[in-house]
Amino acid sequence: MRIYKECLYCGKELTGRTDKKFCDPQCKSGYQYQKEKQNPERFYNKVDNQLKLNRKILKEFNKGGKVTIRTEVLKELGFNPNFFTHYWKNTKGDVYLFVFEYGFLKKTELGKDKYILVTWQDYMEKA
């Protein structure tokens, strides 16, 4: 006695095992993708996606190891400074927020908000 008569994704008639749900791996994958798309995004996924986006943006703009860039430029691309993985405080008391190996420090110069972008250095571990 067959449990499922048709593929749950494409509707083709199933042959083979009696407990088979899908006609091939592509239909199984497509079904799971559709099912997951209907679920609201979980908090973990939102955080993970934002961290990945922040890292990608910081990496793109920090090619030289230390760069200054206007805040609006990063925020227009979806950068959110509230999502970071750790921080480092230098001897002057400035707190750099890091997204994995890429860090940023918010500064205001001449009334303009800017970020100083840096990359993680070995000496930062000792502080």
Q: Per residue in 74-87, pLDDT tens? A: 999 999 999 999 99
pTM for this structure? 0.68
Binning the chain into helix, strand and coil, the percentages to the nearest 5 are: 35, 25, 40
Residue 58 and residue 104 in contact, taking contact as beta carbons nearer than 8 Å: yes
The H or E element containing residue 43 is helix 43-61
122, two tokens: 């070995």
For 10-61, how does the pLDDT look when each residue is reduced to its tens digit (9 = 90+)? 999 999 888 999 999 999 999 998 888 787 778 888 999 999 999 999 999 9
